[in-house]
Amino acid sequence: MSTTLTRAIVTADKEGRPRLLGRRGPDTPTRHGLKVRNRRETATGYTFLLPWMIGFLGLTLGPMIYSLYLAFTKYNLFTEPEFIGLDNFVRMFTEDPQYIQSVQITLVYVLIGTPIKLAAALAVAMLLNYRDRGSTFFRSSFYAPSLIGASVSVAIVWRAMFSTDGPVDNTLSFFGIEIGGWVGNVALVLPMMILLAVWQFGAPMVIFLAGLKQVPRELYEAAEVDGAGPIRKFRSVTFPMLSSVIFFNLLLELINAFQVFASAYIISNGSGGPAGMTNFYTVYLYKRGFADLQMGYAAAMAWVLVIVVAIIAAILFKTQKSWVHYAGDNR
Amino acid sequence: MSTSTSEIARPEFLEIELDQKPVERRRIKRKTINTIIWFVVLAALTAIVLYPLVWLFIATFKPSSEFGQNPGLIPDNPTIDNYFKVLEGIAGVPLWRFFANSTFIAVMAVIGTLFSSALAAYAFARVQFKGVGILFAAMIGTLLLPFHVVIIPQYIMFQKLELVDTYWPLILPKFLATEAFFVFLIVQFIRNIPRDMDEAARIDGAGHWRTFFSIILPLIKPALITSAIFTFIWTWNDFLGPLLYVNSPEQYPLPVALRLYNDQTSTSDYGATVAVSFLALLPILIFFIVFQRFLVDGVATQGLKG
């Protein structure tokens, strides 16, 4: 079930330890024997966990703490970090129009692109769920873009498709709409990037489809007997039954969308242009951190991103009580 | 339905049955029409979704001069010159070298991920030890963490260790289970295995290591295959990692090599760029066609992202 992850997160979040964990062994001999056994279990457990622990401490937790420290410094990789207090953050929000623009376009991309992508995913999943036979081929075809969408090859194709007199322009001019290229157009390059995200609707669609297959048919039949039309059936049966899957998809897609990098970098040749309209948060972070070697500033940017993502996750978890239903929950 | 007695209900019942046949037939007919509409809508949607890939494939046969001149899908003078041209490679490095580099990194990543994730997953799912709850929560937390917060310190660390421009920064993290998705996927899989077998093994005197190698490992093969395929594809596609850590062109994996072609397109030819783009996608597309069941079901059951 795709909801298991959400549940694991929810419960781990609330109680500090996941509910899904296996029960403790029931064999409880003497207190001393138990102690010895527990100690041996703990030793074995940490041996199994050793590679992960080294990775977690050395490549995740340690670096996180170090980058928190760097966020308050000026650092260029070659001289010692110089502590400058909150200067990086002040500079971000008051002295760096490029940063503000980068935040704006990233928010537009995330907050408009993700709902469209999920709506498309849900609509197509419902369409596929209409019939069982023959839908496997379509399911696979729709999923393919999700697998390759973040690759450099696809970014190159996308730029070609939306270039001046490219295939998209040609199709539109057939309907009398003249665009003249999306890639160089300040107003259209962001919609183009959103379309690239929406094109990858397959992954959430597959998850929705698995959720739809688990909605009991009787619920729809009961709703029909009560005279519910298709809209009412969606509102009163499909949506509540799928709400945990919607929550899961929304959380992951939002977080992923913030981290779009390769396609924007390739499409703009690393410039973030035209006029900064593809200068997404991570592209700008890369430029500041690795092209200009302003690593303290880039670390501060990264921490702002972590905080924003944490706030969005917190809001989603807070509001989920009012709209997310878990199967078997009578609340 | 009639509410009267059975006496008159009988002829009425018969009447309804007679009446029902054309209704039923009409309903079947409507269902067939619905199915046809369903099929046509989905086929149209498939055509739109797959069009960029079809375009890419056909464009590889366009001579460079036709890009920008011939906006149609079909080339006027189809040619396979693009493929011959790209075989020579770029920046003095032959094309096969980029493929070899990508394959090496991806294969090492698969080995590392399977090794470290399976071990960690077994500990989380089957061993009861102090702190497991907090550690599991931490592992889940890393799933949601934007990894950009660690790339700067990681880069500084690998730079200090003088490992920049080697494959270590790309491969080592995989041996340390940093991709929490796979740990989680295997944990879920192990939890669905009945404990009876472990317990039987325990009674026979097997410790955790024996249980892991001779009982759990063979049973989690499907989860391992799914993890392996996804690791391969994600590593093959990864752009930021090699962009940061690999500087010498002869060490480039495909995505970074593609950038060389892409940067040169204004001056040199577009046909080559398109051909290399297609060749770089080809292994993944083949993987996808062969393993689509594993991939799509993996996503469906675990909520794994593509």
At B247 the pLDDT is 93
Q: What is the pLDDT of residue B4?
A: 40
ipTM: 0.85
Architecture of domain B86-302: Orthogonal Bundle (1.10)
Which of A4, A14, A27, A60 is most worth mutating to test chain B (most B CB atoms within 10 A of its CB)?
A: A60
For residue A46, with 0-12 CB atoms within 10 Å meaning exposed, 13-18 middle and 19 or more buried, which class applies? middle
Q: A45 vs B144: CB contact, 8 Å cut-off?
A: no
- The pair phi, psi for residue B90, each rounded to 5°, is -145, 155
Which residues share a beta bridge with B93? B90
Residues 6+ apart with CB under 8 A from B17: none
pLDDT of residue B23: 66
Q: How far is A12 from chain B (nearest CA, A)?
A: 5
**Cα dihedral value A284, A289, A295, A301, nearest 10:** 20
What is residue A74's three-state secondary structure? Answer: strand
What is the predicted pLDDT for the residue at A20?
39
Q: What tokens does B12 get?
A: 């009425």
pLDDT tens by residue, chain B, 306 residues: 344 444 444 444 444 455 556 667 777 788 888 889 999 999 999 999 999 999 999 999 988 777 767 667 788 888 888 898 888 888 888 999 999 999 999 999 999 999 999 999 999 999 888 888 999 999 999 988 998 999 999 999 999 999 999 999 999 999 999 999 999 989 988 988 888 888 888 888 888 999 999 999 999 998 999 899 999 999 999 999 999 999 999 999 999 999 888 776 554 578 888 999 999 999 999 989 888 877 777 777 655 443
Contact B149 A63 (CB under 8 A): yes
> Which residue in A41, A60, A141 is closest to B46 by CB distance?
A141
Instruction: Select the residue from A4, A49, A297 to test the B interface by mutation, using most B Cβ atoms within 10 A.
Output: A49
pLDDT digits (tens, 9 = 90+) for A268-286: 988 888 999 999 999 999 9
pLDDT value at residue A156: 92
| The pLDDT value given to residue B245 | 96
Residues of B in contact with A46 (CB under 8 A): 123, 129
The Cα A265–Cα B287 span in angstroms is 26
pLDDT the model gives residue B268:
55
A203 chain-B contacts, CB cut-off 8 A? 299, 305-306
Query: Across the interface, which of B144, B191, B259 has its CB nearest the CB of A20?
Result: B191
Among B173, B146, B178, smallest CA distance to A299 is for B146
B186 SS3 class: helix
The pLDDT of residue B240: 95
pLDDT of residue A197: 97
pLDDT reported for residue B74: 82
pLDDT at A73: 96
Question: Could you say which of A12, A135, A306 has the minimum Cβ distance to residue B145?
Answer: A306
Which two structure tokens, joined as six digits, stand for A16?
A: 């500090």
Q: How many CB pairs (< 8 A) connect A and B?
A: 314
Name residues of chain A where pLDDT drops below 50. 1-4, 6-29, 329-331
pLDDT of residue A13: 37
Residues of A with Cβ-Cβ distance to B35 under 8 angstroms: 131
pLDDT at B15: 47
What are the tens digits of pLDDT across the range B176-197?
A: 999 999 999 899 889 888 888 8
Q: Report domain extents, chain B.
A: 6-59, 86-302
Rounded to a whole number of angstroms, the distance from the CA of A62 to the nearest CA of chain B is 9
Task: Give the per-residue pLDDT at B246.
Answer: 96
C-alpha span between A205 and A215 (Å, rounded): 15
pTM exceeding the 0.90 threshold for the entire prediction: no
pLDDT at B305: 42
CA distance B165 to B163: 6
**Which residues of chain B have a CB within 8 Å of the CB of A154?**
52, 281
